[in-house]
A and B are shown apart, each in its own frame.
Chain A
Amino acid sequence: MKLNEGWVPVGLSSSIEPGTSTGTTIEGSEIVVWRDNSGHAHAWEDRCPHRGMRLSFGFVRGNHIACLYHGWQYDTAGQCRYIPAHPTLDVPQTIKVPIYRVKEKYGIIWTTTAEDVAIPEAEATEITPVRSLYVDRPIDDVFTAFMAAGMTSLHTNAGKVVRGDDVLFVAFQATAAAKTAAHIAIFGSAAVYRGAKQKHYAQWAEGLRFELEAAQGEAEVA
């Protein structure tokens, strides 16, 4: 799913702590995902308007993110507010980073540029994050592999896996044409699922990845 078609998962909420930033891609488009010190997550084009440096290499300063290169600071609306080399400059409104809509649901950060699109629906009150799994295979192949492993589709980029009494939620992100991220969470309290269950399902998902990538390797050899 493209950014302008619906909500795209870009990471586990737990993996972006307040005051930190990281980079990801959606079908090759570079995105910075960062969380301000108030706890709100943001997803923007990963490019400083000044010299094109990735903002994901930058630093969060309060509720601003500062570019690593020359320290230009942007507020939560993407507007440049401070240029260290010109501290008294009235920064024009034209210096602004393209920003995207963000929601957090099921312990996952979602982003889109589309209006009137819904995040996949699932019944969940509490969430325990498992891991984001990065697979060198196209999203359709990864989705199909999870379906073969018992997943029920909830949307074109999300599904639910029931294993015994446990319910996993998996959201899929096409990071590039042949690369996929699967963001995995358990529906249930961390008091119950933290620790052994997290490890168990992380290893289960890693097993799926091994099978997927091994199958690709065999196909290439053949």
Chain B
Amino acid sequence: MVCESFTEFALHRARRLDLEIRIVACDTSSATLSVRGQDDLVDAFEMACSLGPYDCIILDIERATA
């Protein structure tokens, strides 16, 4: 995974979906993000992340509620 590309993608999508976002961690194999907003929009954000930017292959997403 290209960390810079993925975080830029995630920040853009979160901004569009009006979600608060914090990048907790990111490296070449995983990223941890914290987002807050309407449930449906968090679902949409998860869907967007599952697709990811063109230069990242997303294999799995784990989601936890704070």
Whether the Cβ atoms of B40 and A95 lie closer than 8 Å is: no
Asked if B17 and A95 make an inter-chain contact with CB atoms under 8 angstroms apart, the answer reads yes
CA–CA, A95 to B38, complex, Å?
14
Residues of A within 8 A of B (CB): 49, 86, 89-90, 92-95
Which residues of chain B (17-66) have a CB below 8 Å from chain A? 17-18, 38, 40-41
Q: Are A94 and B38 in contact (CB under 8 A)?
A: no
CB neighbours (8 Å) of A49 from chain B are 16
Could you tell me the distance between the alpha carbons of A89 and B17 in the complex, rounded to whole angstroms? Answer: 12
Say yes or no: B15 contacts A90, CB within 8 Å: no
Q: Can you offer 13 A-B residue contacts whose CB atoms are under 8 A?
A: A49-B16, A86-B40, A89-B40, A89-B41, A92-B17, A92-B18, A92-B38, A93-B18, A94-B15, A94-B16, A94-B17, A94-B18, A95-B16
Given contacts A90-B38, A94-B17, 4 further A-B contacts (CB under 8 A): A89-B41, A92-B18, A94-B15, A95-B16
With a CB–CB cut-off of 8 A, which chain B residues contact A89? Answer: 38, 40-41
Nearest chain-A residue to B16 (Cβ)?
Answer: A94
Q: 5 shortest A-B CB distances, which residue pairs?
A: A92-B18, A86-B40, A94-B18, A89-B40, A94-B16
CB distance from A185 to the nearest CB of B (A): 40
Taking the closest CB of chain A, its distance from the CB of B47, in whole angstroms, is 11
State the Cβ distance, A58 to closest chain B Cβ, in Å.
Answer: 19
* Min CB–CB distance B50 → chain A (angstroms): 14
Residues of A within 8 A of B38 (CB): 89-90, 92
Q: How far is the CA of A89 from the CA of B43 in the complex (A)?
A: 12
- Kindly list chain A residues whose C-beta atoms are within 8 Å of the C-beta of B18: 92-95
Q: Chain B residues with Cβ under 8 A from A93's Cβ?
A: 18
CA distance A95 to B44 in the complex (A): 13
CB closest chain-B residue, reference A92: B18
Min distance, Cβ A91 to any Cβ of chain B, angstroms? 9
Alpha-carbon separation in the docked complex, A95 to B40 (Å): 14
Give the CA-CA distance A196 to B41 in the complex, in Å. 57
In the bound complex, residues from chain B placing their C-beta under 8 Å from that of A95 are: 16-18
Write the nearest CB–CB distance from A209 to chain B, whole angstroms.
40
In the complex, which residues of chain B have a beta carbon less than 8 angstroms from the beta carbon of A94?
Answer: 15-18
B43 to chain A: closest residue by CB: A86
A94 to B15, CA, bound (A): 7
Residue in A closest to B15 when the chains form the complex, CB atoms: A94
Q: Report the Cα distance A92→B17, complex, angstroms.
A: 7
Chain B nearest Cβ from A27, distance in angstroms: 25
Minimum CB distance partner of B14 in chain A: A94
CA distance A90 to B18 in the complex (A): 11
